[in-house]
Copies of this chain bind each other. A is one copy, B any other.
Amino acid sequence: MLPNRFENCRIDSTDAAILAYDRGMGARRATISDVAREAGVSPSTASVVFSGKTPVSAETRARVLAAAESLGYSGPDPRAASLRTGRSGIVGVVFEEHLGAAFLDPVKTVMMDGLADAVAPLGAGLLLLRDHDPAGVGASLTTAPLDAAVLIGCSGMLRESLSVVHTRGIPVVVIEGDAGSDVPRIDLDNREAQRQAASHLRSLGHDDAVVLSLPVHTDWKPGWVPEGTPIEVDVARDRLDGVRDVFPRARVYAAGASSIDEGLKAGRVLLADPAAWPTAVIAQSDLLAAGVVRAAEEAGLDVPRDLSVTGFDGIEVDGLAPYELTTLVQPAADKGRAAGAAVAAMLDGRDAASIRFTCAFREGNTTAVAPVMATGGRAASGG
């Protein structure tokens, strides 16, 4: 008597199938071997019927399908197929933040859309992952059956995440982050683009600007960023550099997140002291910029007459009408698609090149000629 429940493993399958049939699917699920046996063909033939990788006679196929039907067999078990083929059809998308937070960001939403488009033809789906798992449990980069991974703006844990996928030998693409030269990177000309906005302001007579930055590192609390602070988040750093190319001494306040609310809160701080009102705020996202516009309204400032505001991203900010932000329009969907294409290429054994997309400057009605300094309260502070 063998240790398992059935007399013999070979027969085991047959018995189980019969039992399953007899007992109305009470026992274990039918396998492809059961189907093959029922159809009077070999397992490999049955396999081929389902995969379609080899021609099968119509009659054989029909018999197999009928057998499957009668056994309640619903096709190859993806787990087994996955072990065999080495592919799971799953692309992990790693976010730095809380999943819900990620989808609050219109840019990421659109990017995901492009990404979904691009991996679909690959037969792959998107698995949502967080890079730092608070609970210590939960699907993660280390344990999920991934064919590839896309890291999105994961500047904080980036290195850690990378080493994980690296040792697992999983192809990886990074969006908006620096992962070293061997990892394809999809990003923007952040610095150049942001410089355009700054130049635009300077050409309007602004001789300084305050930067409302994205968080400069993980778990950042809103506040001023002292000069010399190392900025871990690539996007924030690059965009700031773009500003500094034009306004070298621009002060920087970093918000806690990219949202209208955070922009509003930050805006209140920026505009708290009438004696120190800036003439221009360069926000690193449209949502932040929208918040600043709101804050300006609250403070009784007219945008753009008293205060110019620029954004970044070029999304439609609902409810900002009649304002239309002066901003840098980034091709978010294309970024997602490019990431998907890169994944596809790598899964295909080809090399994937890094791609840098270009933003388009779009002038809205939130920037205007710098106000004449009526209060005299603000002497030149930079630039």
Listed in ascending order, the chain A residues whose CB lies under 8 Å from chain B are 4-6, 8-17, 29, 72, 74-75, 77-80, 82-83, 86, 88-90, 92, 98-100, 103-104, 109-110, 112-113, 116, 119-129, 133-135, 137-140, 142-146, 163-164, 166-171, 181-182, 260, 317-321, 346-349, 351
Contact = CB atoms under 8 A, between A and B. Distances in A.
A358 to B, nearest CB: 22
A113 B138 contact: no
B6 A144 contact: no
| Count of this chain's copies in the oligomeric assembly | 2
Given A9-B346, A79-B145, A99-B126, 12 more contacts: A12-B181, A74-B142, A79-B86, A82-B82, A89-B139, A90-B145, A98-B116, A100-B110, A100-B112, A104-B109, A121-B138, A125-B127
A109 B11 CA distance: 33
Given A79-B86, A128-B125, A6 B104 contact: no
Contact of A182 (B13, B78, B346): B13
28 contacts: A6-B171, A12-B181, A16-B169, A75-B168, A77-B83, A78-B143, A79-B83, A79-B88, A80-B83, A88-B145, A89-B139, A89-B143, A89-B144, A89-B145, A90-B144, A92-B125, A99-B116, A99-B126, A103-B103, A123-B138, A125-B129, A125-B139, A125-B144, A126-B127, A128-B128, A145-B145, A260-B318, A317-B318
Contacts of A72: 167
